[in-house]
Amino acid sequence: MASSYPPAQFAPPSSAAVLDEARQEGFELPAHASSVARARARLRAHLHHWGLPEDLGHTAQLVISEFVTNAVLHTDTTRIGCWIHLDSTRLRIEVTDEGTQSCAPQPRSATADEVNGRGLQLVGALAERWGVSARGARCGRVVWAELGTA
């Protein structure tokens, strides 16, 4: 069932890979720490409904957790948009923010003693591709990852 998401401010970039007959869903959450778990649950429900394997679901949940956490912690956004696309070969996960910072998230090397700082490295290891796109004239960015479905 098609969603009415995304509202105009969270529309996926025109360069997003949305293929014919792709399944897609989106939702918007407040930029609060509690939204990380809500994003995972919403994603898990959609993937279960679409009949995807549980291991792909676990990987996708890790990715969306990292992206939503980063938006909450490292931007000044008040709303976070989540958008998922599924075609026959890949699952694409996008998280948008409306923050005003101009810097894009970057993987960093965490020391052995640090608790945080490895999330984007993990995304890079699990995803076929991932990246960051500016949202054009508006503030904010789209962070995306593509996972293989085969």
For the chain, domains (ranges, CATH) are: 23-148 (3.30.565.10)
User: Distance between CA 37 and CA 97 in Å, rounded?
Assistant: 17
Query: Is the pLDDT reported for residue 1 higher than 90?
Result: no
The strand pairing partners of 82, in sequence order, are 27, 95
73-107: pLDDT as tens digits = 888 889 999 999 999 899 999 999 987 655 555 55
In one letter, which amino acid is 84?
Answer: I
Query: Is the pLDDT reported for residue 128 higher than 50?
Result: yes
At 150 the three-state DSSP class reads coil
pLDDT attached to residue 74: 86
**Burial label, 116 (beta-carbon count in 10 A; 0-12, 13-18, 19+):** exposed
Query: Regarding predicted confidence, which is higher, 147 or 134?
Result: 147
At 67 the three-state DSSP class reads helix
For residues 8-13, average pLDDT: 47
